[in-house]
Amino acid sequence: MRDVVITGIGMVTPLGLNVSQTWNSLIEGKNGIHRIQRFDPAGYPVRFAAEVPDFALEDISVSPLATKILQQLKGKFTYRAVREAIQMSGITTKSTRVGICVGSEAARPSLDHLAEQLNVQAPPDLDEMRSMAPSAPIDLIEEVSGALGGSSVISTACTSSSQAVGEGLYRIRRGEVDAMIVGGVDVLVDPLMVMGFSLLGALSTRNEAPENASRPFDLERDGFVLGEGAGFLILEEQEMAKLRGADILGKLSGFGCSSNAYRITDSPPDGRGAAQSMMAALRDARLTPEQIGYINAHGTSTKMNDTSETRGIIKAIGKDTPVSSTKSMMGHLVAACGAVETIVSLQAIRNGVLPPTRNLESIDPDCSLHHIPHHAREVKIDHAISNAFGFGGSNGTVVVSKWQ
């Protein structure tokens, strides 16, 4: 079996515009959740979220379609994160042996765009329509990278980019390509999303103290916090990476997935889907539960998810492995969360530091695990897993390992 390594990573999150900024903010326990600035949230049931800091892109000479995509936040986030990952890797991406797989949001036109389309008399702008499709990030990445090895998009809510990472692993193992650009992007801080998730009763309503709103595994948790961002990784076949002298960051050891076949909006109380995903990932990585040194939990801060994930972790891994949820600091990035948190898990291995769970004041007895509250912990580990469990019942677990 071909081994797969990671040679480049890139992130845009509410805590930073690159890997270094985001990582340093996480280990310092900083908060990226504030009152919404992008639109006036007055009158909304929830008035806070985790927004990416505003930034401008340099002038880029691209096609009209790519220009339309870059005018949208998902395009800006994608471009910046992919560029960082490629530059860090040093890989030549214009090749038939380099593929792409992206976890992406479903098409979500804005309220302003809907109003424009209702009143429009002229034929629709096809580039404008395509720029809103889930496949738009792939169109952009193909153009700026020149990757010719085939591309695909996965849209399974919160599991999207975890499954994109897993698909990249499988394609390289099968010998279809030698490298993959994988990851995900999502933009949730939008009036439609805020109102929709508010009506579902899924969001925290701590409008007076947003910095304390995301509190995974805490007894007083009352819902998740919408976030946004992008995370991308460059995966390569190990021998090819070594041959070109790449700086190898770590190994992508395994991936596992499952479906709950339960309710659309709830996780099974016994955690069976989460457990199945983690056990499948361990089998794929040929590791035992005892070898896992850290779990970056899905940890959304909702009552059912945290309890279900806890029971799944106990079944699959046990209660002694350190666990934290970085959503406590940067909110829920949905389609992007799996890739971003995979990068965080890799960084934990590389730096020998495990990020904390912010706001974990009183652990829910139903979520009794080896938590890392408040402060980062210095621990040298060889293997970590990142969980992502999707709205609708899809589950994904990525295993990353130290490069020996």
Q: What percent of the chain has pLDDT over 90?
A: 86
CA atoms within 13 A on the CB side of 284: 26
pLDDT at 59: 87
Q: How many residues does the chain have?
A: 404
pLDDT at 110: 54
Q: Which residue has the higher pLDDT, 71 or 133?
A: 71
Q: What's the pLDDT tens digit per position in 313-337?
A: 999 999 999 999 999 999 999 999 9
Q: What's the pLDDT tens digit per position in 120-160?
A: 556 667 777 778 788 899 999 999 999 999 999 999 999 99
Q: What's the pLDDT tens digit per position in 221-252?
A: 999 999 999 999 999 999 999 999 999 999 99
* Confidence grade of residue 174 (pLDDT, cut at 50, 70, 90): very high
Q: What's the pLDDT tens digit per position in 342-390?
A: 999 999 999 999 999 999 999 999 999 999 999 999 999 999 999 999 8
Nearest Cα to Cα of residue 95 among 181, 2, 167:
181
Q: Can you read off the two tokens belonging to residue 71?
A: 């005018």
Number of domains comprising the chain: 1
pTM of the full structure: 0.95
Q: Can you read off the two tokens belonging to residue 324?
A: 């934290």
pLDDT at 261: 86
User: 70 lies in which domain range?
Assistant: 4-401
The CATH number of residue 22's host domain is: 3.40.47.10
pLDDT at 61 over 60: yes
CA atoms within 13 A on the CB side of 187: 21
From residue 139, give the alpha-carbon distance in Å to each of 36, 78, 90, 95: 30, 11, 22, 16
Q: Which residue has the higher pLDDT, 161 or 390?
A: 161
Rounded CA gap, 320 and 100, in Å? Answer: 37
Averaged pLDDT score across all residues of the chain: 94
Q: What's the pLDDT tens digit per position in 182-214?
A: 999 999 999 999 999 999 899 999 999 999 999
Residues designated catalytic = 158, 298, 332
